[in-house]
Structure formats: C-alpha cells, structure tokens
Amino acid sequence: MNKTEFINAVSEKSGLSKVDAKKAVEAFVETVSGELKAGGKVALLGFGAFSVGEKAARKGVNPKTKQPIDIPARKTVKFKAGAELSELIK
C-alpha cells in the first residue's frame, strides 16, 4: 500500500473527505517525524512505538573492491509493534 492508497483507505474508514484524510495523514507523519528528530518517542497504545536507536561505528568491507571501510555511527528509526497489532497478524 502506498501513500495515496493509504489516504484513500483512511478516507473510506473515517468518513473524511480525501482532502481531510490527506491532511490528517500528513499531520501524523510530521508529528511523528518531529518528535523522533527531537530524540523523543511516540507510543500508540495497541499499535506500537516509534523510537530512535543508535548504531555504533564499525568496520566493514566494500564488496566490490574488498577494501576495508569505516562505517560511521548513525541514528536509526525503530518500530516495535504493540501486543494487539502482533496478535492481529498471527
């Protein structure tokens, strides 16, 4: 499902117009993105939690040249599914 299909599904299930559903989806994405950028966490009871994780710097190998490379530390986005969501997809 891509973003347009998701907006259409939200519109159908909520009774909102497609324009309002698009605004709601974009507001959700902006809110979650902003909170994660600030180093926070977003937990939606029954659905799951978005958080920021850290990957340490490490050594790697360029598969093309076989030369060792340094991979810098970076932050990643993590999502942990909630119990209800996990149970639903079993």
Please give the mean pLDDT across all residues of the chain.
95
Contact (Cβ atoms closer than 8 angstroms) between residue 36 and residue 42: yes
Per-residue tokens: 43: 């937990």
Q: Which of 60, 49, 56 lies closest to 73 in space, CA to CA?
A: 56
- Separation CA 36–CA 76 (nearest Å): 10
Q: How many CB atoms lie within 10 A of CB 43?
A: 11
pTM score of the predicted model: 0.79
Condensed to tens digits (0 to 9), the pLDDT of residues 27-62 reads: 999 999 999 999 999 999 999 999 999 999 999 999
DSSP state at residue 40 = -
